Structure 1
Amino acid sequence: MDFGTLPHLFHPLSEQHRMTDTITITPVRGPVLGTVRPPGSKSLTNRALIVAALARGASELTGVLDSQDTRVMVESLRRLGIELEHDAAACTIDLTGCAGRPAVDHAELWLENSGTSIRFLTALCTLGDGRFRLDGNTRMRERPIGPLVEALRQLDVDIVCELGTDCPPVQIAASGLPGGTLSVGGNLSSQYLSALLMAAPCAKAAINLKVDGTLVSRPYVDMTLEVMRAFGARVEEPEPGDFILPPGGYQGRSYDIEPDASAASYFFAAAAITGGEVTVEGLSRDALQGDVGFVDVLVQMGCEARWEADSITLVGKPLRGVDVDMNAISDTAQTLAAVAPFASGPTRIRNVAHMRHKETDRVAAVVNELRRLGLEADEHEDGLTIHPGPMQPADIETYDDHRMAMSFALVGLRHPGVGIKDPGCTVKTYPDFFDDLEGLCRTAR
């Protein structure tokens, strides 16, 4: 795999030094065999940062991810007055929480294209007393945040989408978060619910939070609840989607963050595509992240899996197409789309319409790039169908979407002539992805 020399990755608060070159993936000559430990979970890192920042006392976070999405979160918490020391080399963050009330009375927060960061911090800022503005790059200004804004208005929060588009930038005139009952739509993103849940224990009175309609990506909400409870929050759910959160806040503690299960999906897929055997350390069936369920999809396609207390091993076998609902693990749907061309029949990915509101319209983007490779791919309102067939060389557009780059790199492990444009977009969640993939594939050269 000839990746060349990757230039210095840009500072998270700037769009300068973006990589505009293309890397060409060199196919492996045999099965990919090896062991890998992905970096810490982005989803867990940003949730733990929010909760620890709101806690009483000091917290030590270990295993944290150092990426663009986590750096913009760290920088924003500092702007909100949180005392924080980040040792990127040691993957640790030490911070002292604000006991539920940000200390500053104004702040401008720049979140690039980090959806978790802007949504979680929007809810956090309502706990303060002052004026706050949250914004991001061009794509961020196209990503919806209206459902969260409308939910907060139900509690009389003074909050507005500045451009009237239901997207950032967001302006807040905060005076603390009162208690009460509110509802939030669950069909576009579970992050709205997670943002409200994490802020609620620091409200002035109890909050009853109800989900309106079908909730997408329920495992991410369960992850949020587990992090909250680990820091001492009380949460009741008498009926599915009906949450009662009494005031009480959080207590600082030491908290270890498990490896990123979404990132692990690429290495499991490498084993599946090449008939190899890959062990991912630090994850298990009991992981907080629902995306370990991607392994079950690969098993459904014909692979074998071994689940241990602190590792998961995937053994590649002849693949068959599947028809699968990916709603709960939608961050791995692009990975499945990269595996599907090597199966013996078509693969249908269902119930992922909310992917259209991610870093890009991921449904349309995946279909476009599969067609660029010469494959037949059908776009549906809720997903897509991939038909295996002959492929042609192609340079893949990544749409400034880290998961497009990482997923389609896998196709190049089997098919020659696959180039990945703007590989530096992986800095968003996994800056060392191509180095780690090369290391894993080295024995298959």
Structure 2
Amino acid sequence: MPEQNSWTAPVATDKVEAVVRVPGSKSITNRAYVLAALSAGPTLVREPLDSRDARLMLAALAEFGATSEHTGDGVLVRPLTQGSGEVTVALGNAGTVARFTPPLAALGGRTVHFDGDPAIRRRPLAPLLGALRDLGADIDDAGRGAPPFTVRGQGGLRGGAVELDSSASSQFLSALLLAAPAFATGVTVRLTGTPPSEPHIAMTLDMLRRFGAAPQRHGDEFHVPHTALELGEYTVEPDLSTAAPFVVAPLVTGGTVRIAGWPRETTQPGDWLRSLVRELGGGVMLDDAGLTVTGTGQVRAATLDLHEVGELTPVIAALLCLADGPSVISGVAHLRGHETDRLAALATELTALGGDVTETEDGLRIRPSPLDAGTFHTYDDHRLVMAGAVLGLRVPGVEVENPATVGKTFPGFVAAWQEMLANA
């Protein structure tokens, strides 16, 4: 997508009728790359996401000796090597890279310096770094609990039991579980706080099993024994959270959108969109062709607890501004520690366009009101670009700031969105 300072989100002048293909899941892609790097032999990751976050993950793994190459069938990832010396990992604003790679650095023999965009320095990391220290890792973060920090690899870690507060992000838990097979005695994690997004934890456990590990869970305690991982090849599902704006479009415009390749069974939290569509007045049908969504152009108001699917909040908040009555979103206090403080950003930007949106302790209260043209600032947050696109379906003149930031998960989003609306 060409670099531009803003993008005028197109208005739908008729019902949408489109088939959309979304790229591979970011969450699955980066987990697959980590597990491939920890495997005994090369792994071909098929249909992965190609985006900034995914490229940052591959670049980080390369610093640990896990080189990769793009083939006609996907990305071939080779195992980590011990190595020595000092290297630097660029985190960008990628939470999965910032959380999933420090355990790998602790298992290797290099001194690894981590840093990234200014926004990543504001994202929580202290509980994970503390847990790694408790497991024997040598980490220097000058007491910040955030980047920049340095991990001095010692050629491996014994492992054992550790307590972890993962209430700010389920990625803390996933980071330890993904690396656990490479610890000499495995890892047992006892949670002291309730993590958001249970589906992402289920995703991590499922992928560990697919790569040959034997994770066990008993309530808030997880154990992953030492295991030699090996799979050979793994195919990434389409990103269902990235599909969210396309899924909800028919609710706003009327018509039909089919998301090609939607899996019949998945651990992705975005699969919850199927039940959301029904709750908000639309229809859904899942078959071998994908997920078909129909809408009437009328959006029902709703009271929604999004604790398990928080990443969908920006798109849903924008959608509810177009609903037929007041709505409430709750359970998403953890979004204050994402790419930006998403709750504050949404309340600010939606209100600036004429909306009546207020923050609550753990969410948003939304009262529909007439919306006007204006700039929708996105705070370098890909999900806010998608939210601005949804508003633009009905509100002329929504100028979405810095649309290129959506390259974090869907570099071709603007083109795909415009193509969906070409006949509407």
Q: TM-score, normalised by structure 2?
A: 0.96
- The residue aligned with 2:184 is 204
Q: Does 1:166 align with 2:150?
A: no
Among residues 45, 55, 59, which one is paired with 1:75 in the alignment?
59
Q: Is the 8 A contact 2:10 2:389 kept in 1?
A: no
Q: Does 1:96 align with 2:75?
A: no
* Letter of the 1:320 counterpart: R
- The residue aligned with 1:58 is 42
* Letter of the 2:79 counterpart: G
- The residue aligned with 1:146 is 126
- The residue aligned with 1:10 is none
- What SS does the aligned partner of 1:430 have? coil
- The residue aligned with 1:278 is 257
Within 5 A, what are the aligned runs for 1:80-159? Answer: 80-87=64-71, 90=72, 92-98=74-80, 102-159=82-139
Q: Is the 8 A contact 2:177 2:187 kept in 1?
A: no
Query: Matched residues in 1 for 2:175 and 2:58: separation?
Result: 16
* Letter of the 2:248 counterpart: A
- What is the CA distance between 1:341 and its match in structure 2? 1.7
- The residue aligned with 1:420 is 400
Q: Is the 8 A contact 2:84 2:111 kept in 1?
A: no
- What is the CA distance between 1:206 and its match in structure 2? 2.9
Q: Does 1:298 align with 2:272?
A: no
Query: Matched residues in 2 for 1:407 and 1:308: separation?
Result: 27
Query: Matched residues in 1 for 2:231 and 2:266: separation?
Result: 22
Q: Is the 8 A contact 2:258 2:292 kept in 1?
A: yes
- What is the CA distance between 1:160 and its match in structure 2? 2.5
Query: Matched residues in 1 for 2:322 and 2:190: separation?
Result: 43
- The residue aligned with 2:325 is 345
Query: Matched residues in 1 for 2:88 and 2:407: separation?
Result: 23
Q: Is the 8 A contact 1:97 1:252 kept in 2?
A: no
Q: Is the 8 A contact 1:65 1:91 kept in 2?
A: no
Q: Is the 8 A contact 1:284 1:310 kept in 2?
A: no
- The residue aligned with 1:268 is 247
* Letter of the 1:94 counterpart: L
- The residue aligned with 2:369 is 389
Structure 1, unpaired ranges of 5+: 1-5, 8-18
- What is the CA distance between 1:338 and its match in structure 2? 1.4
Query: Matched residues in 1 for 2:67 and 2:187: separation?
Result: 28
1:107-137 deviation line (CA, Å, top 9, x unaligned): 2101111010111001111111231111111
* Letter of the 1:277 counterpart: T
Q: Is the 8 A contact 2:8 2:400 kept in 1?
A: yes
Q: Which moved more, 1:171-180 or 1:365-374?
A: 171-180
Q: Is the 8 A contact 1:301 1:319 kept in 2?
A: yes
Among residues 251, 257, 270, which one is paired with 2:230 in the alignment?
251
Query: Matched residues in 2 for 1:312 and 1:104: separation?
Result: 49
Query: Matched residues in 2 for 1:151 and 1:347: separation?
Result: 39
- What is the CA distance between 1:348 and its match in structure 2? 0.7
1:336–1:278 CA distance, 2 compared to 1 (3 A): same
Q: Is the 8 A contact 1:81 1:104 kept in 2?
A: no
- What SS does the aligned partner of 1:97 have? coil
- What SS does the aligned partner of 1:183 have? strand
* Letter of the 2:241 counterpart: S
- The residue aligned with 2:216 is 236
Among residues 4, 12, 18, which one is paired with 1:34 in the alignment?
18
Query: Matched residues in 2 for 1:27 and 1:248: separation?
Result: 53
Query: Matched residues in 2 for 1:104 and 1:296: separation?
Result: 50
- What is the CA distance between 1:360 and its match in structure 2? 0.3
* Letter of the 2:322 counterpart: F
- The residue aligned with 1:308 is 287
- What is the CA distance between 1:340 and its match in structure 2? 0.5
- The residue aligned with 1:15 is none
1:231-287 deviation line (CA, Å, top 9, x unaligned): 1011111x2221111111311411000111111111011111111211111113412
Query: Matched residues in 2 for 1:107 and 1:310: separation?
Result: 46
Q: Which moved more, 1:221-230 or 1:304-313?
A: 304-313
Query: Matched residues in 2 for 1:56 and 1:343: separation?
Result: 52
- The residue aligned with 1:14 is none
Q: Is the 8 A contact 1:236 1:243 kept in 2?
A: yes
1:354-383 deviation line (CA, Å, top 9, x unaligned): 111011000000111110110111101201
Structure 2, unpaired ranges of 5+: none
Within 5 A, what are the aligned runs for 1:324-339? Answer: 324-339=304-319
Q: Is the 8 A contact 1:294 1:329 kept in 2?
A: no
1:23-78 deviation line (CA, Å, top 9, x unaligned): 11231111111111100111110000000011001111111111100011111111
* Letter of the 2:421 counterpart: C
- What is the CA distance between 1:80 and its match in structure 2? 1.3
Query: Matched residues in 2 for 1:310 and 1:290: separation?
Result: 20
Q: Is the 8 A contact 2:83 2:110 kept in 1?
A: no
- What SS does the aligned partner of 1:171 have? strand
- What SS does the aligned partner of 1:263 have? coil
